Chains A and B, each alone.
Chain A
Amino acid sequence: MSSTSRTETGEERDALSATDLGDAADRLSTAPKDDGGDSRGVGEPAGGPVLGVIGWLRWFWRQLTSMRVALILLFLLSLGAIPGSLIPQNSVNDLKVQDFKAAHETLAPIYDRLQLFDVYSSVWFSAIYILLFVSLIGCIVPRSWQFVGQLRSRPPGAPGRLTRLPAYTAWRTDAAPEQVRETARTLLAKRRFRAHTVGDAVAAEKGYLREVGNLAFHIALIVMLVAFAVGQLLKSEGGKLMVEGTGFSNTLTHYDDFKSGSLFTTDELVPFSISLDEFTGTYEKTGPQRGTPRTFKADVTYSQDDGKEHKAVIEVNKPLVIDGTKVYLLSHGYAPVVTVKDGRGKVVFNGAVPLLPIDDKVSSTGAIKVMDGYRDKDGKRDQLGFAAFFVPTYGGKGSGQMFSQFPGLEFPVLNVGAYHGSLGVDSGLPQNVYQLDTRKMTPFKDADGNVLKKSLLPGETLELPDGAGSITFEKEVMEWASFQISQQPGNGWALGGAIAAIAGLAASLFIHRRRVWVRARTGEDGVTVVEMAALGRSESARLPEELADLAATLHAEAPTATPDPSDAENAENAENAENAENAENAGNTGNTGNTGNTGNSQDTEDPVDTSAEGAEK
């Protein structure tokens, strides 16, 4: 056999079916036989200038739905996903994108043009996966029809020479051929093969679920994609920061920030309200990982339409789910309680001021704004603003370190810088609550003429000059937690698709579709010859084992004929015997020269047990 050279062109299975086996391997799967795309397809337009638009479309469609193009598209998809992991992405972290743009002035515009900051929503990436999915649909539909056809038809009859098949066995028996065939048919049917008798042989097939699994897997991929797309269009996602003791109700106006898909409408917001009762954070206290967070948990109370209050705990990995809307714990920080009084001692502000962490030890900054109610010493209306810097654990005087040493509240210090004037909140422009816009404000001055600043311990007060009032850092520091409230319909479908995909994949990869033929006919000497052979879609170690098992069972019903010395002269058998010896040799060549090597058979065995010995137990 000149088979070795054929390996390079990789058409072995097709060659097998074409030359030796007739249509034995026909319809054993719904995978395209030959990736015709090139031979038929490319040839056509080249050869025929008459090809119209339709012809070209057809050709294009055939290319697109060929396995080869599917393969290339898959490869492109993985290639195309790479830049998104190396270049900062807007969708993941737009701050990093800004940094990158600032750092690479020449590169950034090029990247921008290539949509490299938005790889996963870029035109080219979308093109790849849309083509892939079109290809997928174009592949699934015909394959499904083909499969339905296969289910309705019956396995093809036995090929002329069963000896050509990957697994083969034969023996002679005294039982009548019809009887053997009938026994074989019932035996195969009992093992849930689809079996029928064609001519002198029984043809049987099993493992159709493989195809079902494969089709289910590919369909599930489409379901997942559609579910994901629908989810993106209809989803909503908003953030809300709550200080301990405050609450929120799920309406658009109450969000700090809000994003939604293009088909989202506000009616889709589930009505509920929620309040943060207490936030607890614990941190590693000692060791090299001192300061690493250990637990974050938020105790909340929520209620829905019926007004009933429920208590719940939200942790980092455990969102609260209210009617499909998920409330996630995102981050946390401190909100020192401060009191601001005017010159006459009237309290003009009292409350917890949430500050934003700037490092992982929760050094925080923010602003304390007194918008109304404040009058200066002359009784004139004015506004006060304090730039605030807070550390939960101060390093101590002389440590030279103003940043926090530890994320837990061990030695809290609040530093404030005092201003008065216009906070700029009336200008109508949206204003960042955590930043003090000092453009229209005048700082209070200390003795040296600098901005009046002071680090306060809990309970301490900073007196503003000239009886302008005071600010007190109360002995209380609240914590705040921010939550992400999101809903994304279609998750159920995506999950269902994912489970179906895994199940289908497992069926597709672990179930073997195979055919078995049992031929029984009267030999030249009048004795019945039983031949059995099996063919699988993919080569499987189990194929010969299964055949051996079937053969043994059938053999019990139709045992080997009593030996007749004249048989040895039978020409066919003599040849067979010789071949058998060769086969033995071939199977054992690994052992040649392996003298005295005992008990080591697993090493010389074929790793996948396809050898004849493997099948024999």
Chain B
Amino acid sequence: MTLAAATNENLAGISNVLIYSAMAVYTLAFLAHIAEWVFGSRSKVGRTAAALTTDADAARSAAGPVVQTRAGGTAVLERPKVVTRSAAGQRDVPDGPGAHGGTEKGDLYGRIAVSLTVLAFLIQAAGVLARALSVQRAPWGNMYEFSITFSTVAVGAYLGFLAAKKNIRWMGLVLVATVLADLGIATTWLYTESDQLVPALHSYWLWIHVSTAIFCGAVFYLGAVGTLLYLFRDSYEAKLARGGNPGGFARSVLERLPSAASLDKFAYRVNAAVFPLWTFTIIAGAIWAGDAWGRYWGWDAKEVWSFITWVAYAAYLHARATAGWKGRKAACLALIAFACWLFNYYGVNLFVNSLHGYAGV
């Protein structure tokens, strides 16, 4: 058999070059984001935490307004304006201005960072594609390939949110930093030569199950970042509301983030939207296991941790619907759930003996 010949060494080499190039561009994006934050810290908004409390008061007094829209001219039909009001009991704190803190320079660097991220994303996606073409199969046969796909998808989702005009640029720095970490780990420790798959991975379920698993993980990651920042921002707001005086760092950094309510909502939406897909991923995996190993569910380590992750996210969703558990407690559950996902990925593959471990790491 000459299956090995199917591995196109050239393309595999190109893929590696592309991945390294993407890392270089991400590094530039990272620096640009740093510049954005640094310039942003010089803004007036950034320095006046007190202003926030007064803004919040203003927002609160705005609760329950009526907006009357009148047609100014004769024939103009204006739409009636809808006024929103957050749920009772939530602070009516406005969103921060973002990393650039409202400064022109910060904003410029932010835009440069996003542009660089787009470029790096394209290069990285090309790298994943080249890897796939080099072996003529889905590029998810081992941990190196999972990792490079994973961060591509995470960045893709982030750029997707940006393209849909969602306020998510605040995540840029953290995201780019983790993508660099992920690629660093992938290229130094997890690197595996481009190669064919062992027979157990030959199945169209590979496409279905693994692609959704990677997608879920990447988007859960965005949710987890939102949740984590929510926790910080929430204690910051709580402190302000109590009349406390947060430290300079908190004032400068947390202030520029969206409000705790917005972050929480973002995290919830993302997690809730992905949860059904994650459910599907596990079921697809069970069906595949049924075909590959003759049993649908055998409590293999990977299966156990997928289950744990699933139950943890279910607990999070329940917590949000349970009085006394919303807010911070639910957020902690969401973080635990994501930690389970991470462990399922790194921990089980590297430390625990699992049937899933045949992928040459």
Contact = CB atoms under 8 A, between A and B. Distances in A.
B81 A616 contact: yes
A566 to B, nearest CB: 13
B70 A71 contact: no
Contact of B95 (A81, A163, A604): A604
B199 A316 contact: yes
Contacts of B291: 317-319
Interface stretch (A197-205, A269-277, A417-425, A584-592): A584-592
B145 interface: no
B68 to A, nearest CB: 6
Contact of B68 (A573, A609, A617): A573
Contacts of B50: none
A317 B84 contact: no
Nearest to B88: A16
A512 to B, nearest CB: 12
A364 interface: no
Interface residues of B, number: 121
Interface in B184-203: 193, 195-196, 198-200, 202-203
Contacts of B312: 75, 78
Contact of B107 (A486, A548, A600): A600
A71 B69 contact: no
A35 B273 CA distance: 26
Given A579-B64, A591-B102, A15 B58 contact: no
Interface string B227-254: 0000000000010010000000000000
B298 A92 contact: yes
B4 A9 contact: no
Interface in B73-104: 74, 77-92, 94-98, 100, 102, 104
A612 B78 contact: no
B84 A610 contact: yes
Interface in A530-567: 532, 539, 543-544, 547-548, 551-552, 555-556, 559-560, 562-563
A413 B71 CA distance: 96
A491 B296 contact: yes
Interface string A1-13: 1011111111111
Given A85-B304, A580-B67, A582-B61, A501 B279 contact: yes
Contact of B4 (A11, A77, A285, A502): A285
Interface size class of A (residues with CB under 8 A): 35 or more
B323 to A, nearest CB: 5
Contacts, number: 384
Contacts of A67: 318, 321-323
A585 B71 CA distance: 22
B283 A168 contact: no
B308 interface: yes
B88 A316 contact: no
A97 to B, nearest CB: 12
B91 A34 contact: no
B87 A579 contact: no
A607 B318 contact: no
Contact of B294 (A15, A169, A319, A501): A319
Contacts of A165: 85
Contacts of A552: 79-80
Closest 9 CB pairs of A and B: A12-B89, A579-B65, A594-B102, A586-B59, A582-B62, A576-B66, A85-B304, A607-B167, A6-B89
24 contacts: A1-B88, A3-B89, A14-B323, A16-B89, A81-B311, A82-B304, A92-B299, A163-B65, A168-B66, A317-B203, A502-B276, A510-B273, A539-B265, A547-B82, A579-B66, A593-B43, A597-B107, A602-B165, A602-B167, A607-B168, A607-B266, A608-B266, A612-B83, A612-B84
Given A74-B311, A284-B196, A597-B107, 8 more contacts: A1-B63, A3-B89, A6-B89, A86-B301, A170-B66, A170-B68, A317-B199, A608-B262
